[in-house]
């Protein structure tokens, strides 16, 4: 058993760490404050191979695998979880096209995602009435001659207002109301019939816009169908299995940042005539943070490793996401506690990390959905 990343994985981690430290960290607080999406930095991340980490080189990807992707996301999250959303979702969409796309679809869409021309890619599954119950979605795709016409509204779509490529899930069998009638389509940002709706006013991750997308008679060619007609739900579930590893990596990155900031603060801050760190309560907080983080990182890396070995990883990914996100929220909560009044104001990043961590128990499958996935596989 080897717990050390290999040379390639270490190199990817070092690249992501340097990019995050030198390019994102200096502006992360301002981006969040101004609710600004850093398009220039996203393009720069593409030039470093970060938007196609697990995509074949013939499509412009780095082809270094899921473990390297998880390590890269973890490093970026140590600085800015919002930027991670773009990296994580764009990689997930690129992977779903690589896995299920035709040769023509892969040639058309993957190089522009990995190379940054599309800027980023979005995953449009959720709707107002179907988020956890993804199979109940109501957007419809009607076949008219050699085209599909999409009508409906998507909600909670990360960077859907910036994405050049969007995978949209829609019902192709009007008589169905469950997962069986759902298909996936490749839609291009800015297409006629596709408009950006409300931009959400969120608690955290404010440099990563979350938007509604309206589809009103949005026509796409017949060959925009991704995967089999009626097979879209499984495709979404398989994509989310991988996406959940990315979100676990994001959570461990935020948790690690909050833990290190807390340890530094506890060493520097004096109270009752000695550093805060010498109070046993603070030591216990930090010890729990360290232990939970270690467990979360091991779960996350094991899930990524199983995926890399082409072994079943859905349950492992759900456990990693569940545990890592719950741990990150506990860690960020205690980080605010250790920072006292300073943790409650915007001058130090712990306040932002606390808010950024919160939604992670909700998106890409709530903690309750992860428990459902874990329990179902246990009982299967």
Binding site for ligand COS (CB under 6 A): 123, 125-126, 131-135, 156, 179, 233-234, 237-238, 240-241, 314, 363-365, 369, 372-373
Q: Which residues contact 98 (CB under 8 A, 6 or more apart)?
A: 55, 56, 59, 61, 106, 110
> CA–CA separation, 163 vs 190, rounded Å?
9
Between residues 123 and 305, which has the closer beta carbon with respect to ligand COS?
123
Between residues 150 and 247, which has the closer beta carbon with respect to ligand COS?
247
| Cα 25 to chain centroid, rounded | 19
Nearest to 34 by CA among 352, 253, 359: 352
Nearest to 141 by CA among 129, 153, 152, 154: 152
Nearest to 213 by CA among 160, 175, 250, 255: 160
We find the least distance from the C-beta atom of residue 5 to ligand COS, in angstroms, to be 26
What would the two tokens of residue 370 be?
Answer: 């992860």
Nearest to 49 by CA among 4, 87, 22: 87
We find the least distance from the C-beta atom of residue 157 to ligand COS, in angstroms, to be 8
We find the least distance from the C-beta atom of residue 275 to ligand COS, in angstroms, to be 42
4, 153, 364, 368: the active-site residue:
364
Nearest to 91 by CA among 364, 343, 299, 347: 364
Between residues 49 and 204, which has the closer beta carbon with respect to ligand COS?
204
We find the least distance from the C-beta atom of residue 363 to ligand COS, in angstroms, to be 4
| Residue 364 annotated to the active site | yes
Alpha-carbon distances of 155 from 54, 92, 169, 214, rounded to whole Å: 27, 18, 12, 9
Between residues 274 and 311, which has the closer beta carbon with respect to ligand COS?
311
Element at 316 (helix H, strand E): helix 314-339
Between residues 181 and 314, which has the closer beta carbon with respect to ligand COS?
314
Hey, which residues are catalytic here? 364
């Amino acid at each position: 058993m080897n717990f050390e990343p290999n040379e390639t994985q270490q190199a990817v981690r070092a690249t992501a760490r340097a990019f995050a430290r030198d390019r994102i960290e200096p502006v992360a607080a301002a981006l969040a404050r101004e609710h600004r999406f850093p398009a220039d930095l996203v393009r720069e991340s593409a030039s470093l191979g970060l938007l196609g980490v697990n995509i074949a080189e013939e499509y412009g990807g780095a082809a270094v695998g899921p473990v390297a992707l998880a390590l890269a996301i973890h490093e970026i999250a140590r600085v800015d979880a919002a930027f991670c959303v773009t990296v994580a979702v764009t990689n997930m969409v690129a992977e779903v096209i690589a896995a299920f796309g035709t040769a023509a679809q892969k040639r058309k869409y993957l190089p522009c995602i990995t190379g940054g021309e599309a800027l980023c890619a979005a995953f449009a599954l959720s709707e107002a009435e179907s988020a956890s119950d993804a199979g109940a979605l109501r957007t419809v795709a009607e076949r008219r001659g050699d085209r599909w016409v999409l009508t409906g509204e998507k909600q909670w779509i990360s960077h859907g207002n910036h994405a050049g490529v969007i995978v949209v899930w829609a019902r192709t069998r009007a008589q169905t109301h469950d997962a069986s009638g759902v298909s996936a389509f490749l839609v291009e940002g800015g297409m006629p019939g596709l408009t950006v709706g409300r931009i959400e006013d969120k608690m955290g991750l404010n440099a990563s816009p979350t938007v509604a997308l309206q589809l009103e008679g949005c026509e796409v060619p017949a060959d925009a169908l991704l995967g089999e007609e009626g097979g879209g739900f499984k495709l979404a579930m398989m994509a989310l299995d991988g996406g959940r590893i990315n979100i676990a990596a994001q959570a461990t990155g935020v948790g690690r940042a909050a833990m290190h900031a807390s340890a530094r603060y506890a060493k520097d801050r004096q109270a009752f005539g000695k550093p805060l760190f010498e109070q046993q309560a603070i030591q216990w907080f930090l010890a729990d943070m360290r232990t939970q983080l270690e467990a979360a990182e091991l779960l996350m890396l094991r899930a990524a490793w199983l995926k890399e070995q082409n072994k079943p990883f859905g349950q492992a990914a759900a456990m990693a996401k569940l545990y890592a996100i719950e741990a990150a929220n506990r860690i960020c909560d205690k980080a605010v506690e250790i920072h006292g009044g300073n943790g409650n104001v915007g001058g130090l990043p712990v306040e932002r990390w606390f808010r950024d961590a919160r939604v992670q128990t909700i998106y890409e499958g709530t903690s309750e959905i992860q428990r459902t996935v874990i329990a179902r596989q246990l009982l299967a």
